[in-house]
Amino acid sequence: MAESIRLIRPRQAAGQLAAHPNNGMLYPLDVAYAQAGVAAPDAKLVSVDEIPPPYRSLLVHEHDMTLTLEQHFGGRVALRALSTFTEGRSYFRRVLLVQGYSGRPVEMGAIRVDLDAFALPIRTQILRSEVPLGRLLRDGGVDYRSRPKVFLAVTPNPEMMGVFWMREARPLYGRQTEVTVHGRKIGDIIEILPLV
């Protein structure tokens, strides 16, 4: 993976997300937190070389993150929706992925997807917020790509510390990705890992 990854700001459709002008490196997590009235955590861009193991192997790839987490933690992960809302044809959700057998948090994520990009059965499943997006798309036969745009070091806010069962603020690592189907961008994802 190239070391110089440039930040790509999401394009906005006219009139959409106007209330969220600062869609930067934490997008769409920053939008989900703003919607909930919670201050976003501090974050900074990091190079691949600055990401310590095992975070590096969990973040620096273009594979399905759900499957990557399941392979690393040795079992299926379950989704817990923390917040959901729609804005125009975009659907936002902030979720916690947890180990299915223990409930231990393995990722906090936020997605923004274009609902019009999916057939009705998959769109309905997305809106139910019961299945991790990667598994849902994979099982639904959607040929998608999830490409990392930037990697992040995150200082968790109190809310994130709570969902990750943290006693003190320690650096976490994550990535911002762009989801495409047949070369067309259909969504944005931020994925932040707990202490591993």
CA distances (Å), 13 to each of 4, 47, 90, 164, 187, in order? 28, 30, 10, 34, 13
What would the pLDDT profile of 106-149 be if each residue is shown by its tens digit?
999 999 999 999 999 999 999 999 999 999 999 999 999 999 99
Sign of the C-alpha dihedral computed for residues 134, 2, 175 and 98 taken in this order: positive
**Residue 54: cis peptide before it, omega within 30 degrees of 0:** yes
The CATH number that applies at residue 164 is: 3.40.1410.10
CB neighbour list of residue 194: distance below 8 Å, 6 or more residues apart: 105, 106, 107, 108, 164, 165, 166, 172
Q: Residue type at 72?
A: H
Residue 84 covered by a domain? yes
Q: In the structure encoding, which two tokens stand for residue 107, read together? A: 């990722």
Q: In the structure encoding, which two tokens stand for residue 27, read together? A: 């997008």
Residue 23 pLDDT grade (very low, low, confident, very high; cuts 50, 70, 90): low
156 is in which domain, residue-wise? Answer: 29-193
Q: In the structure encoding, which two tokens stand for residue 65, read together? A: 């993150």
What's 60-111 look like in SS3? CCCCCHHHHHHHHHCCCEEEEEEEEEEECCEEEEEEEEEECCCCCEEEEEEE
Residue 14 covered by a domain? no
Residue 12 covered by a domain? no
The SS3 assignment for 133 reads helix
Residue 34 covered by a domain? yes
Residue 176 pLDDT grade (very low, low, confident, very high; cuts 50, 70, 90): very high
Q: Is the pLDDT of residue 3 over 80?
A: no
Terminus-to-terminus CA distance in the chain, angstroms? 22
Residue 19 covered by a domain? no
**Number of domains observed in the structure of the chain:** 1
Residue 13 covered by a domain? no
Listed in order, strand segments (DSSP E) in the chain are 42-46, 77-87, 90-99, 105-114, 144-155, 172-181, 184-193
Residue 105 covered by a domain? yes
Residue 24 covered by a domain? no
- What mean pLDDT value characterizes the chain? 88
